[in-house]
Amino acid sequence: MNLLLAVLLAGTLTSGAKDVTLKNGSTARVEAGELQVPESRRRPTERRITIPYYRLRSTAQKPASPIFLLAGGPGSSWLDQFESDENHREVEYYRTIADVVLFDQRGAGHSRPSMTCPQTAQLPVDQPLDPAMLRDAMRPLLMACRDHWQSEGVDLAAYNTIENAADVNDLRIALGYDKISLIGGSYGSHLALQFMRQFPKAVDRVVIYGVEGPDHTWDNPAGMRATLERIAAEAEASSELSPHIPREGLLKTLERVVSRLEVSPQSVTIDTTRVVVDANVVRRMARRDAGRRNKPNAWPEMILALDHGDYSALAKGRLDNRKVGLADPMHYSMDCASAISERRRQRYRDDPATSLLGDINFEYESLCDAWPTEDLGDAFRRDVKSNIPTLIVHGTFDMSTPIENAREVAASLRNAQLVEVVGGTHGALYNLFERWPPMHEMLAAFLSGKNVRFPRTIVDPREVKFRALEATWNR
């Protein structure tokens, strides 16, 4: 198909110059436009989705393939992110390499229809946190949100990653590009991998981080526990904390707390409100603040406080979070459609790590059957096999997507490099941008088509400063 015909088929494109006001008060000039795409290519109707985008032309003399930035979430807005200092600097850096295109994906941000689920409910806090109670509170909210958008004529099942990838391709064609490079983290990596499979000839280079592979939409209990073990090991090795940590270590201590509360839930009075702290409360809080390098004491101190019988922080957390709400519709449409394979689902259900972490896939198990989705099937969830040059950057302290995900994805990509950032977080690529100076030059060379060999392992240079304990129960 020639490019002119492809442009005509891709959809209606409008564009013009725009000054975007940044959060620091300055302005940035962009080409701002909108692309109309079919709501569903599988079930064609006259309904269209509006995809808004910004394009910033490259300042390079010989620009590389255009860079398309894929937001995470699903449901995040790159157009909103662009207004922050950090993200604006990132885009300006990429402009020195190639044209940069950022856009809001279908159903997200400023796309139209722009959908939310504002429904909320309040849970009682004077009872144990029974998963069935949480499920019974959330399902009516979800069904009310579903019914509202269906009454507006929205085909919720059309908001899936295969359609999303087709939108990206339509935008590529409409903007007149032959090949593009993709950069995406979290759900953005999930979308990038599907684009590589769906439109391999349209891809030059790929950079992904915080990796969510095709069969990784549900959380991995074993990977989550392994991440906590890595974080615990750093805390246990610190001279400030090690004298206060029981011999068996932080995770075994946490397991002991869970076992104790299984038998005997505790009540804490916050102001005049009685709050019950039981094993399920601890399981839901077990990951809170783990691996935060700007707040390294928070997670180990929480465990040590619980071990000493101080439940006040968890009680306050439960009280502050007694109102439950929903994610935006894209979370349910995209994630429930991607789902996971039955083999992996069974493995996760049987994983011993759930005794500590609880059902970390509670929302998928409890809600997806009530949301209209088109199961994308096992072909979608198979490993992506590709020769496209791909850089994977992943942190060993990533609590959203464990590094085990990235290792699995890298194994099937024949031309991939995996950089493991020791101590890096879900935004490991940005950890290196900020604190590892060689990254700027090496990434620019990679995106420009050069053969670059990245280190297999980089230790996050940020110094972690643990503090001595000041808690009253430690005195």
Enter the pTM of the model: 0.95
**Whole-number pLDDT of residue 161:** 98
Distance CA 224, CA 219 (A): 8
Say whether both 58 and 173 belong to one domain: yes
Say whether both 107 and 190 belong to one domain: yes
Evaluate whether residue 471 is within a structural domain: no
**Whole-number pLDDT of residue 472:** 65
Evaluate whether residue 92 is within a structural domain: yes
Say whether both 399 and 252 belong to one domain: no
Evaluate whether residue 470 is within a structural domain: no
Say whether both 223 and 349 belong to one domain: yes
Say whether both 104 and 203 belong to one domain: yes
Instruction: Give me the residue label for tokens 């079930």.
Output: 43
Domain coverage including residue 364: 117-153+219-338+340-374
Q: What total number of domains does the chain contain?
A: 2
Which tens digits make up the pLDDT trace of 329-364? 999 999 999 999 999 999 999 999 999 999 999 999
Which tens digits make up the pLDDT trace of 428-462? 999 999 899 999 999 999 999 999 999 999 999 88
Please identify, among 359, 374, 389, the residue that sits at the C-terminal boundary of a domain. Answer: 374
Q: Can you read off the two tokens belonging to residue 299? A: 């997670």
CB 419 within 8 A of CB 402: no
Say whether both 131 and 166 belong to one domain: no
Residue 226: enclosing H or E segment and its boundaries?
helix 221-236
Say whether both 296 and 359 belong to one domain: yes
pLDDT (average), residues 313-318: 95
Which tens digits make up the pLDDT trace of 53-103? 999 999 999 999 999 999 999 999 999 999 999 999 999 999 999 999 999
Q: At residue 359, what are phi and psi to the nearest 5 degrees? A: -85, 90
Say whether both 207 and 223 belong to one domain: no
Which tens digits make up the pLDDT trace of 113-156? 999 999 999 999 999 999 999 999 999 999 999 999 999 999 99
Evaluate whether residue 285 is within a structural domain: yes
CB 356 within 8 A of CB 283: yes
How far, in whole angstroms, is CA 424 from its chain's centroid?
15
**Whole-number pLDDT of residue 461:** 86
Evaluate whether residue 472 is within a structural domain: no
Say whether both 58 and 149 belong to one domain: no
Which tens digits make up the pLDDT trace of 205-264? 999 999 999 999 999 999 999 999 999 999 999 999 999 999 999 999 999 999 999 999
**Whole-number pLDDT of residue 301:** 95
Say whether both 390 and 298 belong to one domain: no
Residue 182: enclosing H or E segment and its boundaries?
strand 180-186
Evaluate whether residue 142 is within a structural domain: yes
Evaluate whether residue 465 is within a structural domain: no
Higher pLDDT, 87 or 9: 87
Say whether both 192 and 231 belong to one domain: no
Evaluate whether residue 474 is within a structural domain: no
Distance CA 176, CA 7 (A): 7
Say whether both 228 and 105 belong to one domain: no
